[in-house]
Structure 1
Amino acid sequence: MFGHVEVVDAGVAGVDLLRTVHTAGLVEAVQRASVDTRADVGHGVGTLETPAFAGMHDSAARVFSGSVDLARALVAGEIDHGVNFAGGLHHASADAASGFCVYNDCAGAIRAMLDAGVERVVYVDTDVHHGDGTESIFWDEPRVTTISVHESGHTLFPGTGYPGDVGGAGAEGTAVNVALPAGTGDAGWLRAVHAVVRPVVRAVEPQVLVTQHGCDTHVLDPLANLRVSVDGQRAAAVMMHDLAHEVAGGRWLALGGGGYELVDVVPRAWTHLVGVAAHHPIEPTTAVPQAWLDYVTEALGQQAPRRMTDGEPASFSTWESGYDPADPVDQAVMATRKAVFPLLGLDPWFD
């Protein structure tokens, strides 16, 4: 126990557990590549975007197990909130690794909830990239609603996740995609999250809320083109926490995801996430621990941010303030609302 946070270990997920969402072929390919990193095993393993490395099976299976363990604890009533910031590996599909994601722990956690009797789960993905793997695994599953707010596939990997993608036959309205224009900052990003995620979650009334908090939406992230601040990411975490308490009885599983600015962004973003989940949110003006500043200087020869803030207000106008048809963000939001809201009994203009 560290303060208000209990840290628990996770074992390596067995093959049977992995196969609740993945094919035998993918698992066997990852196991083989873990021993022979030069082997041509297929299934997206050993590619430029998901390179093979020694021990990759055990590493990825441990992350998978950690999210599943938290999911089971939530359903059993043993915890209210769980965080696995090593997780959020949302690009892996049932049969293929993709986008640095070997096994999809998001899907594994949700599958464990369904197997335990949960009838409604909402998954919210705020990573800069579309949560394509998780969406595809539950494309035809009416008990799972996946919401992804991401940079448009026109400008960013994986090139998917458009408003018209609303779910498979018999599950229409359970896939929700907001494709934002490159350059969107805090005000637009938070407006989009608020205008789509909040009404959809309220309409579905999930028994558990699962959220993915990839912090590669940040303006400094080298692999993407949004302009969100750490303050904006913190605000989104607070929004998800409050929704879980409002709609899902407080049952909230929060996962990590992408994030490639390893000094200025990742440590602060996920520290804020843990603070929110622990019901002890960290004030943005809080000083970063001196021990971390010293470590970064000694190990990397650079200076880390001295405060838990980027100095941004993380403010936005709610949808109720009015729709601007000339605003590219509002255009993206409205496209999603028009495509999905009627399927959920919601009004695209007012709910």
Structure 2
Amino acid sequence: MKAVDGNAKFIFHEEEVDYRFNAEHPFNQQRLVLTCDLLRKSGALPAEALVQPDLADDEEIALVHSREYIEAVKALSGDQPGSEWLAKAEKFGLTSDDTPYFSRMHDITARVAGGSIAAAELVMSGQAQHTLHLAGGLHHAFSAKGAGFCIYNDASIAIAAIRKKYDARILYIDTDVHHGDGVQWTFYTDPQVCTFSIHETGKYLFPGTGGVEERGDGLGFGYNYNLPMEPYTEDASWLECFEDTLSRVADAFKPDLIISQHGCDAHAYDPLSHIHCSMEIYARMPAIIHRLAHQHCEGRWVALGGGGYDIWRVVPRAWSLLWLEMSGHPLGAAIAADGLLPLPAEWLAEWGPRSPEPMPATWLDDASSWEPMPRRAEIAERNRRVRDLAALYLPPRDAG
């Protein structure tokens, strides 16, 4: 692992862009290229912040995934997999439309897992206070099954690696619009890992889990929190539920490290969900997590990517806002003061002609111009009831 000193590090390897199932698949890591280019053209991604990760080895991957599954992923990564492995592919979830096997998937996904391990190790070893690994956040994979566009669960692998090496309490925060099921179930009985996920309710969206009643099991009971939001939830309701509940969870759990997953598919433009939020939540949620990291764990904060399927209008802005917050770049404060600050003209000129939709001209959205959602008050009230149920056993925030 090539590491350098500094407060915030950006973990990235060009090979991670090759995590692609096929040309028609919605998971498109070209979004990494657009994000890095936006940050560079904004003067916010200096070369000294970059860290290139190694591949995770089999022992590290096996902290979460079964040996048989790793063997299957390797065998299905060749240009012409053997017939015996093709016959087993369905068993391992690698023939679905969502998560089909693809060439070199083991090496590419091992690189992603290695990036998340590197991000966590840099923080825990004190070489960096904050780290960002946008290729990571593949939170749906299970021990012996790929799912939801995810082959290896790099978030779970990084958490398991830290748990093996350090005596650390880890708060995992998942902001993807899809429930962070793979991470939840991996640590469902572990009281040293607290998982928190805000997402669209599983009544209408993959993976169908993430209800408030899923609170952990055995010694892990009370260390799992879910906020399933109603379809068409908007910024104010999403942020109200997120900040209040997460702050209470962090106060009660007192983590040594925060690992957060930043899928940006709760935006109104995202084609795979029904939430109606704007770029405002992608400026505010990182700021809330940043505050909690300094409040509870001396700033130790690892952030990962995740979902996000409008790769032109949404993902580059959302992930850039995350890095601006983590790195303390002055552009972040300027955007907070004026959300309609224009995006770099050079970046728009480069990518605008390639976008299938007109590109936004500003860092945040002018959501005041959007048509209000019908049933706004009813949706907000239903979300408050969910919030209250999720926080049922948490002490109030003003408790001594």
Q: TM-score normalized by structure 2?
A: 0.80
Match of 2:341 among 286, 289, 299: 286
Distance 1:162 1:274, change over 3 A: same
More off after superposition, 238-247 vs 275-284: 275-284
Q: Which residue of 1 aligns with 2:223?
A: 174
What is the CA distance between 1:165 and its match in structure 2? 0.6
Q: Which residue of 2 aligns with 1:336?
A: 390
Q: Which residue of 2 aligns with 1:220?
A: 269
Q: Work out the CA distance in 2 between the residues paired with 1:349 and 1:182.
A: 31
Contact 1:166 1:175 survives alignment (8 Å): yes
Distance 1:255 1:135, change over 3 A: same
Contact 1:140 1:171 survives alignment (8 Å): yes
Distance 1:174 1:33, change over 3 A: same
What is the CA distance between 1:49 and its match in structure 2? 1.3
What is the CA distance between 1:4 and its match in structure 2? 8.4
Q: 2:348 aligns to what SS in structure 1?
A: helix
Match of 1:206 among 207, 232, 255: 255
Q: Does 1:188 align with 2:188?
A: no
Supply the AA of the counterpart residue of 1:200: V
Greater per-residue helix proportion: 2
RMSD: 2.3
Distance 1:5 1:310, change over 3 A: farther
Distance 1:16 1:312, change over 3 A: same
Q: Which residue of 2 aligns with 1:9?
A: 52
Q: Does 1:25 align with 2:68?
A: yes
Q: Which runs of 5+ in 1 are unaligned?
A: 314-323
Distance 1:295 1:116, change over 3 A: same
Q: 1:150 aligns to what SS in structure 2?
A: strand
Distance 1:291 1:161, change over 3 A: same
Supply the AA of the counterpart residue of 1:336: A
What is the CA distance between 1:59 and its match in structure 2? 1.3
What is the CA distance between 1:347 and its match in structure 2? 4.6
Q: TM-score normalized by structure 1?
A: 0.90
Q: Does 1:49 align with 2:103?
A: no
Q: Work out the CA distance in 2 between the residues paired with 1:118 and 1:230.
A: 36
Match of 2:128 among 76, 79, 100: 79
Q: Work out the CA distance in 1 between the residues paired with 2:186 and 2:299.
A: 25
Distance 1:94 1:289, change over 3 A: same
Contact 2:279 2:314 survives alignment (8 Å): yes
Supply the AA of the counterpart residue of 1:311: D
Match of 1:305 among 356, 360, 373: 360
Q: 2:302 aligns to what SS in structure 1?
A: strand
Q: 2:102 aligns to what SS in structure 1?
A: coil
Q: 2:220 aligns to what SS in structure 1?
A: coil
Q: Which runs of 5+ in 2 are unaligned?
A: 5-44, 369-377
Q: How many positions carry a matched residue from both structures?
A: 337
Q: Work out the CA distance in 2 between the residues paired with 1:292 and 1:303.
A: 14
Q: 1:237 aligns to what SS in structure 2?
A: helix
What is the CA distance between 1:311 and its match in structure 2? 2.1
Q: 2:204 aligns to what SS in structure 1?
A: coil
% identical aligned pairs: 34
Q: Work out the CA distance in 2 between the residues paired with 1:349 and 1:227.
A: 31
Q: Which residue of 1 aligns with 2:141?
A: 92
Q: Work out the CA distance in 1 between the residues paired with 2:379 and 2:282.
A: 26
What is the CA distance between 1:285 and its match in structure 2? 2.9
Q: Which residue of 2 aligns with 1:118?
A: 167
Q: Which residue of 1 aligns with 2:18?
A: none
What is the CA distance between 1:298 and its match in structure 2? 3.7
Supply the AA of the counterpart residue of 2:344: P
What is the CA distance between 1:325 and its match in structure 2? 11
What is the CA distance between 1:260 and its match in structure 2? 0.1
Distance 1:46 1:175, change over 3 A: same
Q: Which residue of 2 aligns with 1:159?
A: 208
Encode CA deviations 1:15-47: one digit per residue, 9 max, x unaligned: 111101111122112111211468242311121
What is the CA distance between 1:303 and its match in structure 2? 3.2
Contact 2:168 2:257 survives alignment (8 Å): no
Q: Work out the CA distance in 2 between the residues paired with 1:271 and 1:195.
A: 25
Q: 1:243 aligns to what SS in structure 2?
A: helix
Q: Which residue of 2 aligns with 1:320?
A: none
